[in-house]
Amino acid sequence: MTDPATARPRVLHVDDDDDIRAITQIALAVVGELEVLQCSSGLEALEVAQKFSPDILLLDVMMPDMTGEETLAALRQLDGLATAPVIFMTAKAHSDDIAHLMTLGTQRVIAKPFDPLTLATEVVEVWEQSAKGV
């Protein structure tokens, strides 16, 4: 894991939508200068997550084959990811949906469409709070 005092977080981003991945890549890597690894499915994320060793997980909720919730549960079983902070991104951002996601140990839920100019700031904020135990 990356030390919050000396670096920027490594972000594992999982979303099945090509356009969302492209916008998120620009928002995090270009605007936010974060190291990002993107996956188009939960299964792909499971294949690469341990080698990438992300500091924070950014997951879509609604994906085919493996939902964001299922992806999170599987990632939590991998060495080094049991306590990684999690942000869910979803178009279903109703209060009941958010409340359910928060019961999964999620640090934040970001509604789609999101603001690409503030996404990196939100990700770093969650990562720093998690590092401080907030």
Q: Which residues contact 10 (CB under 8 A, 6 or more apart)?
A: 2, 34, 35, 36, 37, 52, 53, 54, 55, 56
What are the C-alpha distances in Å from 52 to residues 11, 13, 55?
A: 9, 11, 9
- Calculate the average pLDDT of the chain: 92
- Does 68 fall in a domain? yes
Reported pTM: 0.92
From the list 134, 129, 133, 128, the residue with the least C-alpha distance to 3 is 128
Query: Would you list the DSSP string of 13-24?
Result: EE-S-HHHHHHH
- Does 3 fall in a domain? no
| Residue 56, domain CATH | 3.40.50.2300
pLDDT at 28: 97
Using DSSP bridges, classify how beta strands 108-111 and 35-39 pair: parallel, antiparallel or unpaired: unpaired
- Does 1 fall in a domain? no
For the stretch 76-123, pLDDT in tens is 999 999 999 999 999 887 789 889 999 999 999 999 999 999 999 999
87: containing domain: 10-132
**Cα 78 from chain centre:** 16
- Does 99 fall in a domain? yes
From the list 97, 101, 92, the residue with the least C-alpha distance to 71 is 101
Give the number of domains in the chain: 1
From the list 54, 5, 10, the residue with the least C-alpha distance to 33 is 10
Q: What percent of the chain has pLDDT over 70?
A: 95
- Does 23 fall in a domain? yes
As given in the structure block, the two tokens for residue 48 are: 């690469």
